[in-house]
Amino acid sequence: MKNFIVFFILVIYLNLGAQPMKTAYINGVIFTCDENNSKAEAILVKENKIEFVGKNNEVLELLDNQTEVIDLKGKLVLPGFIDNHVHFLTGGLYLLGIDLRPANSTYEFKKILKEYSEKNKGKWITGGYWDHEKWENKTYPTKEMIDEVVPDQPVFVSRLDGHMGVANSLALKLAGITKDTQSPEGGLILKDPLTGEPTGLLKDNAMDLVFKIIPPPTDDEYYESLKAALNEAKKYGVTSVQDISFPAALKAFNRAKQEGILTCRIFIRWPISDYKYLVENGIKAGYGDDLIRMGSLKAFVDGSLGSSTAWFFEKYNQDTTTYGLPMDIVIDGSLEKWALDADKNGLQLSIHAIGDRANSYILDVFEKIVKNNPSWDRRFRVEHAQHVRFEDIKRFKQLDVIASVQPYHCIDDGVWAEKRIGSERIKYTYPFKSFLEEGVKICFGTDWYVAPLNPLLGIYAAVTRRTLDDKNPDGWIPEQKISVEDAIKCYTINSAYASFEEKIKGSIEVGKLADFIVLSENILEIDPIRIKDVEVELTVFDGKIIYKK
């Protein structure tokens, strides 16, 4: 009854007829993600900032005839999700192009390729993001599989992790790849053991042999992919992303900003090989405004577990010929040299490391930087931090390294990871709980396009660790499950910290940017198994409603 009276009074204010300058959101269950994990009932937004957070009756004193009122009807409100690791424009291109992810068999793989090629004659077929672990034989695709359905059109389609791709014969011919072509540093051209001919599969740096001859998208095509990505982000409540970026993407972001359609805040990670461009232009960590920021660098230490290119101390159980693949910039020392100089110039290091040896290696580099460079609020990041020995988790804390992880990969990899690396090494795979218990700052994201952009699936994964094959109902490595509250904070305030923005976003507090979402169910109260089915009903960005289900 009390809430009804409050709402009735607010409606009177609303109906006075003035143009709304403020918006009051009332009757909600608001999990603020502040330091005290406070809960509230109402939010008052003025323009693009939060002016008040508290109880319904308290908001009355702050209303005027320019206040719009929205009844939340008891729904859960969270800060807008901040995705710590996306390939945003590539994800948009994925939405607009071929989609091989649904292929659950080699037959479906070929069928999707054939149907797509018939509608897109004369063009390179790229993207796709297949997953052979879903197929009946779980073996890699080959050029012959593609040749059978698309012989006269160049094809190079990537595995969903982006560390492996398969080309048809025409694409190999155009790239000049033959039985005599040597694998580049940090890459591998797979060849038939009997004939020596390339199978069509290329891993990591070897993919560049094909990528360099594929015509890049035009600026307009990139812009269309950005618009598709922004629409995808809205419906999942993603109000900020931390992008693995490149020059054409920055151009598209700036165009969207100028045209007033940028409905997601962008934190850009630049390739470390080009770090001097940022230095020469006076760009340091946190450079930019509330919509677009720069000053962070991305580099790779190794590849991925799915492609058997993640770098380990011990050989793979499934393939005892390899420890994985350190990247060429690791082998020749460039990564360490660049990292030392970039840090000295105030740039954040955000380094991909998946295997246990890759994680240990980059921690060694970070330790050298701390010892040799002047101290500053550097906020080292390890992207993925997937297989980390327990002794190295302590080093994350000692060096103030952020574990920038993507929990959905856990329930995907958990289907097949043990056959790759054995039962002992999986004990320290995706060690979310151990990171938190050690006091390591951990933030969450999706790695979209590699995984779905939906953060609620990531929260579900971190809390339940139920693998996609439903064979681990109590969780895969269940001792590493975390609470829903911690998972939410990893997707909000902790991700804001990872981009030097915790003072302006990531929690619902007075003075912060008005980015928040309303969920269809209260994930703090329901059975965690149901979290994967919860939807975003409302997305508020910069004080405006940009999505309503």
The arrangement of strands across the sheet holding 155-159 comes to 125-130, 155-159, 164-167, 198-204, 187-191
Over residues 442-447, the mean pLDDT reads 98
pLDDT at residue 6 is higher than 60: no
Percentage of residues in the chain having pLDDT higher than 90: 88
Distance in angstroms (rounded) separating the CA atoms of residues 192 and 199: 6
Torsion 444-450-451-452 (CA) sign: positive
Tokens in use for 29?
């269950």
For the stretch 237-263, pLDDT in tens is 999 999 999 999 999 999 999 999 999
Report how far residue 274's alpha carbon sits from residue 276's, in angstroms, rounded to the nearest whole number: 6
Q: Report pLDDT for 20.
A: 55
Where does the pLDDT of residue 185 fall: very low under 50, low under 70, confident under 90, or very high at 90 and above? confident
Q: Is the pLDDT of residue 359 over 80?
A: yes
Name the more confident of 38 and 7: 38
pLDDT at 173: 95
Residue 66 binned pLDDT confidence (cut-offs 50, 70, 90): confident
Q: Is the pLDDT of residue 373 over 50?
A: yes
d(CA 383, CA 296): 12
Question: What integer pLDDT is reported at residue 1 of this predicted model?
Answer: 41
Query: Does residue 377 register a pLDDT over 50?
Result: yes
pLDDT at 122: 86
Q: What rounded mean pLDDT belongs to the chain?
A: 94
Beta-sheet pairing, 42-46 with 381-384: unpaired
Q: What was the pLDDT predicted at 15?
A: 43
pLDDT of residue 8 exceeding 60: no
- Looking at per-residue confidence, does 183 or 5 come out higher? 183
Q: Do residues 213 and 155 touch, judged by C-beta distance below 8 A?
A: no
Q: Taking the CB of residue 451, how many other CB atoms lie within 10 A of it?
A: 24
Q: What is the pTM of this model?
A: 0.87
- Tell me which residue of 447, 403, 456 sits closest to 87, measured CA to CA: 447
Higher pLDDT among residues 450 and 420, named by residue: 420
Q: Give the span between the Cα atoms of 15 and 498, in whole angstroms.
A: 43
As a whole number of angstroms, the distance between CA 2 and CA 50 comes to 24
Q: How far is 166 from 128, CA to CA, in rounded Å?
A: 10
Pairing of strands 29-31, 39-40: antiparallel
State mean pLDDT over 411-418.
94
Tell me the two tokens of residue 435. 């990171």
Q: Over 80: is that where the pLDDT of 5 sits?
A: no
Separation of alpha carbons 444 and 83, rounded Å: 6
Which of 127, 173, 128, 129 lies closest to 147, judged by CA?
A: 173
- Give the pair of three-digit tokens for residue 532: 């994967």
Distance CA 495, CA 383 (A): 12
- Considering only residues 66 and 317, tell me which one the structure prediction assigns the higher pLDDT: 317
Q: Please tell me the distance from the alpha carbon of residue 84 to that of residue 231, in angstroms, as a whole number.
A: 18
β-pairing verdict for 238-244 and 287-288: unpaired
The two three-digit tokens of residue 169, written as one number:
């014969």
CB atoms within 10 A of CB 298: 23
The conformation of residue 528, written as its DSSP 8-state character, comes to G
Q: Is the Cβ–Cβ distance between 456 and 534 less than 8 Å?
A: yes
Measure the CA–CA gap between 20 and 46, rounded to whole angstroms.
10
* CATH architecture, domain defined by 91-211: Roll (3.10)
Is the pLDDT score of 17 beyond 80? no
Preceding omega of 449 cis (within 30 degrees of 0): yes
Average pLDDT over residues 346-356: 98
Handedness of CA 177, 182, 184, 189 (dihedral sign): positive
Give the Cα separation of 221 and 442 in Å (integer). 35
Task: Tell me the C-alpha to C-alpha distance, in Å, between residue 335 and each of 211, 313, 358, 399, 510.
Answer: 22, 19, 12, 18, 41
Query: Confidence class of residue 163 from pLDDT cuts 50, 70 and 90?
Result: confident
Pairwise CA distance, residues 349 & 296, whole Å:
6
Find the mean pLDDT for residues 60-65: 86
Question: If you write DSSP's letter for every residue of 234-281 in order, what string do you get?
Answer: HHTTEEEEEEE--HHHHHHHHHHHHTT---SEEEEEEEGGGHHHHHHT
Alpha helices in 78-123 (DSSP H): 88-96, 106-119
Q: What is the CATH number of domain 2-74?
A: 2.30.40.10
Q: What is the DSSP string of 382-436?
A: EEE--B--HHHHHHHHHTT-EEEE-THHHHHHTTTHHHHHHHHHGGGBS-HHHHH
**pLDDT at 78 exceeding the cut of 80:** yes
CA atoms within 13 A on the CB side of 40: 26
Question: Above 80 in pLDDT, residue 451?
Answer: yes
- Judge whether residue 12 has pLDDT over 70: no
Contacts of residue 309, Cβ cutoff 8 Å, sequence gap at least 6: 163, 164, 188, 203, 204, 302, 303, 324, 325
Instruction: List the domain boundaries for the chain.
Output: 2-74, 91-211
Check residue 2 and give its pLDDT.
46
C-alpha count within 13 angstroms, C-beta hemisphere, residue 368? 13
Task: Output 397 or 8, whichever has higher pLDDT.
Answer: 397
CA distances from 118 to 55, 121, 153 (A): 59, 6, 10
Binned at pLDDT 50, 70 and 90, residue 186 comes out as confident
The single-letter code of the amino acid at 113 is L
14 has a pLDDT exceeding 80: no
Which CA distances in Å does 31 have to 75, 272, 493? 11, 37, 12
Which residue reads 């025409």 in tokens? Answer: 170
Q: 140 near 422, Cβ under 8 Å?
A: no
